[in-house]
Amino acid sequence: MILFGLRDIGSINACLPVINILKDKEIPVSVYAEGVASKYLKDKLVFFSECQTDDLLDFTRPSLVVATAANKGGTVPIGLTVEAKQRNLPVVFVEEMWSGHSAFQWKVLPDGVCVMDEFAKSLILRSWPNYPESHIHITGSPVFDKLVSVQTNIDRYYLRKNLGLSEDWPIVFFPGLNPVSGMIQAVPMLVESLNDLGIPVYLVLRDHPTVSFTEAAIYHGFLKNLRIGKVIDSSKLATNEVNAGSDIVVGVFSTMTVEACYLRKPVLTIWTPEIGRLLLEITNNNLTEWPIVNLGASLKAESVGEIKNCLRKIFSGDTATMLDAQQKHFKTDGLSGVRVAKAILSYY
């Protein structure tokens, strides 16, 4: 039996396809969920929750443990990994995004790691310099497997229809982030830039699912200052529907901006020294830049003036260089989940 330990939504979305693949192979799987994962998985599958790690392992008696990344650790991933290794159980760490491993001080390292790309592999080796490269498996991220069949032209049509958008204005999507301090900086910068440009848009802002109503209200207040265009409530739709149907994606370092690269959307990353320090803090000094910017797959703006310049570039259709970088670095064949499952089973 294989035991998955889940805590954050990103890790859940990466592992659910893998769990289904393993079950289809008639391999017994159990899931332990804590924190946000307990609420998110409530109606999706049966799982164990909020129990002592030794009791969990005594009851499930796994042959292998899969640990996943979390923004704030509980039992997952460190406690679960330590307890499993004390019982001589193999542990595979599944990292759905760059540098998820770096938020923690690892007391004992996993036997294998699944990462999304070569850059993610290099970050693992930077953190764990003596770790055997052969134990790092470049699988892609199953989070993005679903995008292989997305047809953005159709999604754009239905998004406009479902939201009742009658004007031929660009849809600018701003996916949320947690911690919210990055949003508190970036949202007013975007609103001021749009006002200065004088080009009407539909502005759609979505909160990160872990952000509370009180926290979100702080940066939502800036939206009332938009004088050109219209702020749109998209709460009746799923976030990925909005992302797929939008014309432009603007963000800080949200997973949705990475998804937008796979969808070949014009992407703008808003950056300030404070946002940079926030990313450094979250990744334990492992990421100084959001990788989609490094790879040329997103424009980057550090001031209201730079946001305006980038938006002018996007509105004029000057996005060929960005699109080339997206096509080069963000490919999916829909088989990342299969590769993760194969890597896990190599330790089973």
For residue 316, what is the domain's CATH number?
3.40.50.2000
Q: Write down the pLDDT at residue 140.
A: 95
Give residue 24's pLDDT: 96
* Same domain for 131 and 50: yes
- Same domain? For 183 and 229 the reply is yes
Residues 320 and 339 reside in one and the same domain: no
DSSP structure string for 22-63? HHHTT--EEEEE-THHHHHTTTT---EES--HHHHHHHH--S
Alpha-carbon distance 195 to 225, whole Å? Answer: 9
168 vs 280: CA distance, rounded Å: 39
Question: The sheet that has 248-251: what strands, in order across it?
Answer: 230-232, 202-206, 171-175, 248-251, 267-270, 299-301
In terms of domains, do 95 and 226 share one? no
- Whether residue 99 sits in one domain with residue 192: no
Q: Are residues 339 and 324 in the same domain?
A: no
pLDDT at 157: 96
Q: What is the pLDDT of residue 96?
A: 93
Can you give the residue range of the structural domain that contains 135?
Answer: 2-140+333-345
Whether 77 and 158 map to the same domain: the answer is no
Q: In residues, how long is the chain?
A: 348
Question: Do 34 and 160 belong to one domain?
Answer: no
Count of domains observed in the chain: 2
Say if residue 106 is exposed, middle or buried (CB neighbours under 10 Å; 0-12, 13-18, 19+): middle
CA distances from 219 to 170, 173, 197, 341 (A): 22, 15, 21, 40
Same domain, 54 and 74: yes
Q: Are residues 224 and 134 in the same domain?
A: no
Tell whether 14 and 66 lie within a shared domain. Answer: yes
Cα–Cα distance for residue pair 188/94, rounded to 1 Å: 36
- Packing angle between helix 304-315 and helix 181-197, nearest 10 degrees? 60
Same domain for 34 and 102, yes or no, is: yes
- Other beta carbons within 10 Å of 151: 9
Cis peptide bond prior to 179, omega within 30° of 0: yes
pLDDT tens, per residue, the chain with 348 residues: 999 999 998 899 999 999 999 999 999 999 999 988 888 898 888 899 988 999 999 999 999 999 999 877 789 999 999 999 999 999 999 999 999 999 888 999 999 999 999 999 999 999 999 999 999 999 999 999 999 989 999 999 999 999 999 999 999 999 999 889 999 999 999 999 999 999 999 999 999 988 999 999 999 999 999 999 999 999 999 999 999 999 999 999 999 999 999 999 999 999 999 999 999 998 888 899 999 999 999 999 999 999 999 999 999 999 999 999 999 999 999 999 999 999 999 999
Give the separation between CA 311 and CA 315, rounded to whole angstroms: 6
Give me the pLDDT at residue 170, please.
97
